Structures are given as structure tokens and as C-alpha cells.
Structure 1
Amino acid sequence: MLLRHCLAGLLLLSACLAWAASQVQVVGLFPGAAVINVDGQRKLVRVGDSGPGGVQVVSVDKQGAVLRVDGVERVYPLSREYSAGFAEPQRKRLSIAKGIGGHYWVAGSVNGQTVQFLVDTGATSVALNDAHAKRLGIDYRVSGRPLQVNTANGVARGWRVMLDRVKIGDLEVLGVEAVVLEGGAPHEALLGMSFLSRVGWREEQGMLVLESKL
């Protein structure tokens, strides 16, 4: 009997240690997806998919998400604490000088793949053509929602997609809405307001200044 109690105690202790070993947090919420932080690894994970450490997103609402961790489902509220033991993040800033044609050009990345962006404050979202999407590995016909877009050349067929992450310099935004258009337009990838509205931006002495929001 004593041996049985000891074994049960050890199993309970092991379970508690395993639970404490992984710090799991929900740090962002989007329709049908959540940004989860598992031991410092952040990733946008759609409902039904698994992220860092095998943590699965079961469902999402405005308050938080139901996650399955080690086979156990639990409600995780939205947290603003990105990582225990780290100081409050510092505001990050990037200044971009005008380039060819008086436009702002900047090198960035989409889902870890490099992209040369033309900054367009008049575009409601990040805009890509189908060649850009193919190079970036975005299967927009499967993951996107079809729509019609009015362009300078008339009505074009497009798809609305969600990019896992867009990064410009040290500024990274997770869960960025984008539109992929059929054909060669836009010729350059456009950095629109779906990214810019998530950071602070202003024009200052001929420079475009982007700044992270705390």
C-alpha cells in the first residue's frame, strides 16, 4: 500500500513538473487563429493546427483561446505578458529615406522570405501578385477567400489571405491581412495599411518613420 501511494505521488509530481516546464500563453487573437507563446517561441496558429511544443489551438473567441497541451484542453485568456523574466519591450524604430520616383522602398520579409516592398499608405492591405505569392509559398487558392478588386486597369480577381508574419527591420507584426491579385499587378509588393496601422508611422523631414507600439 505504501509503495502504491509513493508511485502515485511520483506520477503526480512528474505531471506537475511537466506542466510547469512549458510556459504557454495566448498573446494575440484573430478570427480563426491565435498567436501563442510557448517557452518564448511565438507563432500564429490557426484553429485545428498545432504550434510550438505541439500545442494545438482548439477554438478562439474575443477573450482567449482553448488550447490542447499534452492532451489536456484548457482555456487560456489573452495575455500581454510575452515572456516571464523579461523586461518590458523597448519601442523599435525604423527610418526610411525616399528612393526612386520619390517613393519609399524597404526590404522586408513575409513568413521568413525576403521581399522588396513599396510603401503605399493608400493601400488598405499588403498587396501581392500571384508570382509574389508563389515565390513566398502562399497557396492563396486554398487558404484565401476570393474577391473582386478595383484597380487602375479595371476589376481584377483576387484572394484575401492571412500572412503569419511580416517583418521590416526589427518591426515584426503577426497575423497581417493581405490580398493576392491574379496577373502582374501590382508589379511591386505593396506594404499597405494592414501592416502600417499596426505600427506607428509618420513622415518627418523627407523620411518615413515607423515605430513599434508598446
Structure 2
Amino acid sequence: MLTLRFLPTALALLAASQTLVGHAQSVALTGVMGSKALLIINGAPPKALGPNDSLQGVRVVQVLSDSAVVEVQGQRQTLHLGASPVSVGQGLPSGNRKVVLRADSRGHFRDSGFINNKPMQYMVDTGATAIGIGQADAERLGLNFEKGRPVMVRTANGNTQGWHIRLDTVRVGDITVYGVDAVVSPQPMPFVLLGNSFLSQLHMTRQGNEMVLEQR
């Protein structure tokens, strides 16, 4: 069934919007029609765009029920339904966004970050295919993991069932990656394991007790 969410008041929000200098774009999400986002770009009439569609240099990356992720010149931005227009395409280039991690006494790289804009503690795990999340953390983060795809998870106590899900956003420092695969395990985990579904989107270097993650 095609679901339609439309917010006429978003048109009024654009009254004060102006075309920005340089290559930045003013973009607002005024509605969601199934898998397409209704975008208003630089005050023009709304256009329905699906994932990978582009218009005036704005590419749609992902469309959710009440938000959409767009990209301009490599810079991504989450648009929320009915919110004021945002500027995309100005500021720090994504390639200059980096995080420097320092190993703890056991040689692990740990820090804090955000999953779907909610805080979490993570540890880098270059041997993990996807991000690993314990069930308790998944519940705290509000993840609807039980609707995910059932998968077998290897634990110290043998194989058990977990759930494969996709996270809207994972943020570490100034780096944000969208649409990241994760596996939720029923076993308790002290940290979120930051695996290669996130790390493969970055340029990663290690020297001594320092690891540098840099957005491509």
C-alpha cells in the first residue's frame, strides 16, 4: 500500500528561504510518497525523488517514513518532514572529517558515539563484518530489531539467533555514515562493536597507539 505523508505548512516555511552563495542548496522535505521524497530545492515547486535520483545537484540517498537523507557535493544531510529548509553543500568537506582514537591499556580503541542520534559506547572491531549490538543496548536505543532478519550469531557459548537490521545513522565525532548494517545479539555486550559495515566507509590508518578514521 502506498503511504503518503504530506505537510502543506512546509510551503510556508520556505517563504524566508533564499538561494545560498557558492554551491550550497536550500532543501526542505515537504512530504513522503512511498519510496519517494517530496523536496523543495531553492524555493522551487516540490519534486518527487527516489533513492539515487538527482535534481539541481541534490541526490537522494535514503527515504524513510518521516525523513530523507540527501547529498550535495559529497556532503550528506538528514531532512526531517516539516522542518525548516537546511543548507547542504557548504562547510567542511567530508574528506576532512576525521576522528583520532587512542588505544587503552589493553590495546583496544574505545570511545562514545551515536546510533540514530542516541548515545552509545563503542569499541573498534576490524574483524567484525557488521556493527555488533547487544540486545540490552538495542532496546535502550529503541531499535525495532525483532522485525529484522533472523541470523545465526557465534558467541562464547555457541551459536544463537540474532537479528540483522539496518541503522539509519552511525556518528563518531564529526563522521556520520548512513544506512549501516548491524547485528543484534541476545548475549550481553559491554560495548557496541564498530565493525566493517561502518569502517569500510572510511579511510583508516593506525600508527602506534593511535588510530585515525577519516571520512572519504
Which band: TM-score by shorter chain? 0.5 to 0.7
Identity, in percent, stands at 31
Cα shift at 1:88: 6.6
1:145-156 equivalences under 5 Å are 145-156=149-160
Partner of 1:35: none
Q: CA distance change for structure 1 residues 121 and 67 in 2, over 3 Å: closer, same or farther?
A: same
Partner of residue 161 from structure 1, selected from 165, 189, 198: 165
Higher percent of residues as strand: 2
Once superposed, which parts of structure 1, at least 4 consecutive aligned residues long, lie more than 2 Å away?
52-55, 66-70, 72-76, 82-88, 150-153
2:48 maps to 1:74: yes
1:55 is paired with a residue whose SS is: strand
Partner of residue 177 from structure 1, selected from 177, 181, 195: 181
Deviations 1:91-137 (A, max 9, x none): 11111111141111111111111111011000111101110001111
How many angstroms apart in 1 are the aligned matches of 2:198 and 2:204? Answer: 10
How many angstroms apart in 2 are the aligned matches of 1:164 and 1:182? Answer: 21
Partner of 1:205: 208
What TM-score results when the alignment is normalised by the length of structure 1? 0.65
2:167 maps to 1:191: no
Q: One-letter code of the match for 1:117?
A: Y
Backbone CA RMSD of aligned residues:
3.1
In the comparison of the two structures, how many residue pairs are matched?
165
Aligned residues of 2:38 and 2:48 also touching (Cα < 8 A): yes
2:106 is paired with a residue whose SS is: helix
How many angstroms apart in 1 are the aligned matches of 2:175 and 2:125? Answer: 17
How many angstroms apart in 1 are the aligned matches of 2:192 and 2:200? Answer: 17
Partner of 2:3: none
Cα shift at 1:205: 2.5
Unpaired segments ≥5 residues, structure 2: 1-10, 20-24, 41-45, 60-70, 76-86
Cα shift at 1:171: 0.8
Larger radius of gyration: 1
Cα shift at 1:183: 2.6
How many angstroms apart in 1 are the aligned matches of 2:89 and 2:146? Answer: 42
Partner of 1:32: none
